[in-house]
Structures are given as C-alpha cells and as structure tokens.
Amino acid sequence: MGFRMGIVGLPNVGKSTLFNALTRTAAAQAANFPFCTIEPNVGEVAVPDPRLDRLAAIAGSKQIIPTRITFVDIAGLVKGASKGEGLGNQFLANIREVDAIAHVLRCFEDGDVTHVEGRVDPLADAEVIETELMIADMESIERRLAGLQRKLKGGDKEAVTQERLLKTALAALESGQPARSVAVAEEDAKAWKMLQLLTAKPVLYVCNVAEDEAASGNDRTASVAGMALAQGAGHVVISARIEEEISQLDPEEAQMFLSEMGLDEAGLDRLIRAGYDLLGLQTYFTVGPKEARAWTIRKGTLAPQAAGEIHGDFEKGFIRAETIAYDDYVSGNGEAGAREAGKLRVEGKTYEVKDGDVLHFLFNT
C-alpha cells in the first residue's frame, strides 16, 4: 500500500533542505526502482529493508522491488494559513491527502538563518502549526454541521453519525485539543476517517539539528521528545544538512560519512521507520527467482486482505497462504530448506499476517 507523508514547517526550519535531500535520494534510486516518480513537490523513496536483500540473495531473485513511501512537500504554511494567508488554501487541500504529517521543527542555532518569528523555539513553532490546523478544522466542522441540517430532518442515519462525530471533534478542538486526541470506537472508525479532519492526522515531529548534534540531539530535541510522548506522537532527530550531503554520495561513501558523524544509519531510514511505527504498518515479502518484493500492510491485516495488496483477484479467490517466517526462511536457506524443516505453514482466511512473513498465495481465478 505504501503511504504518503506530508512535510510541513514554518519558513527557515530546514523543511526544503530535507525535502530536496529526499528527492535527490529518489532520483538516485530511479535506475533500480521502476516505481520511482518525481514531481516538483513529490518524492517517492524506496523503503530500506536489509531483509529484502537477504531474501533475494538466497532465492537468486533477478529483481528486487522494495515497498515505497511518498513524501509530499506541503508549501505555504505561515501564521494565518487557516485564513488563506500565504498559500494557505492550497496548503490545507494538500494536507488532507496525506496519511501522516512530518512536522519539521528548527532545533539548531544559526545566525545566518533568520527565524520567521525571530526566535528558535520548536515547541512554539509546533503550537503555531497546530493552531492553524485546529482553526481550519473548527471552521470546516461548523460549515458541515450547517450543511447536514436538511438530511438530519429527514432522519438520514449517516447524517446522524456524522453530526455526532463532528460535534465530538468540535468539543475537543474548542477545549484546545486536536481531533486525534478523541478516542474513536471501532464501529465509528470508517466514518471518522471520512471526516478528513486535519488534526486527526498522526504527527511525527522531525527535529532538525546542526550536524554535530545529529547523534546526540540537544536540549531542544529533548523538549520535543517530551511533547511527543505527552501527545502520543512520534519524533525523530535528523540533520537536514547531513541528509543533503549523503544524498549526493554513493552508498559506500555515504556509510563512511555517517560513521565519521557517529551515526549508524541515515536519518531518512529512521524517519521512515518512525513513520511505519506511527501508522502501525509492517512488511511481508513474496520471493522467487523472478523477483523479491516487499509489501506494506497495516498490523492486524488478515491473509486475504494482504493478498489483495498484490491483486484484487487474489483476495476474492483466496484459498490459503503458504507462510514462512523470515528467520525460518533464512535458517533454511530458502523455501525448500524451510519446508524440509517443517517451518512452512499453511494458513487460512483468519490468519493475521506477521511482520517479515514470506508468503505464497493460492487462489481461485
């Protein structure tokens, strides 16, 4: 399924630097990644997963196809965006289309880079953006409640549900809390998602630090971590400058550079992993001599729905899934070895796919 993450931030926090690094990474992957497409404000990047390379090596796969994440550079956010300031209306439209928000916060000092508010305070920056989104949501809810009146008078059940959920969200917003703070019942989850409230989007705070603080962070990143914990949000520490530099290096040079900076992996890798955790995503694999491929699904997905990620016919005609856990596939040196060791399982329609499963689906056409 992949997912779309919108990158937001006030001017001069490093958002554009980070996005430019991401799009250069996407461009560098283009030769080996046929699904990579780049537009002026969209970069699609392969999700790094060493397990996929290992599986491909064992199976002798001719092609490796990773799953992918789409980053959307959402421009135009300034104070007053909810009122149409800057590119406010465009900003609000773009943000409704993403699965999660990566909110870039400036956590570095640099006298040459002026902050739009004249100070470096990531918590205050987060509040500015959150406030704009909350105002936009409240105005949207009030318009929609007014528009529901005719349907409500006619006893429309869907309108009744919408009104209840909109009023619940409005109450939270009026008390100063984003819509994502609302505990939504399972039976309301689909209708809640259809409301497309901006502040219902999961948030990942991206602390942009100076190069020499990328490994350890600083007092500002610690304060952001506390805020994220209190909100149930995610956070990651990244130096956009480092990401920009390594995006122009080959893999071996990039790894040497990261080691010199005291880092085990690129910030992009940590950003993607944090995004997966935030959205409750996981990966399963299909492996053969033709290709080894990764597929993204939500945790808790049942086998027929996982098969549907490959093709709708796989889900409709699902019979069973031949399943090997990643570790068992590796220790058996492939499917044959895993089968001989009794590690290949046959799972039915109620099987909940696990992260790292190697699957082969059988279905009726």
Tell me if 70 is assigned to a ligand binding site: no
C-beta separation of 116 from 10 below 8 A: yes
Nearest to 58 by CA among 340, 284, 293, 335: 335
Whether 12 has a binding-site annotation, put simply, is yes
CB atoms within 10 A of CB 217: 16
Q: Is 82 annotated as a binding residue?
A: no
What are the C-alpha distances in Å from 261 to residues 13, 240, 255, 256, 258? Answer: 21, 13, 10, 9, 5
CA distance 45 to 296: 14
Q: 13 among the known binding-site residues?
A: yes
In this structure, which long-range contacts are made by residues 182-190, counting pairs with CB atoms below 8 Å and at least 24 apart in sequence? 188/161
* CA separation, residue 243 to residues 48, 208, 228, 313 (Å): 15, 11, 23, 41
Q: Per the annotation, does 237 bind a ligand?
A: no
Contacts of 13 (CB under 8 A, 6+ apart): 104, 105, 106, 115, 125, 208
Longest dimension (CA), the chain: 68
Our CA angle for 325, 266, 262, nearest 5°, is 115
- Helix, strand, or coil (residue 207): strand
CA distances from 86 to 41, 62, 82, 231, 330 (A): 17, 49, 10, 28, 53
Per the annotation, does 286 bind a ligand?
no
Would you list which residues are annotated within the binding site? 12-17
Q: Which residues are annotated as part of the binding site for ATP?
A: 12-17
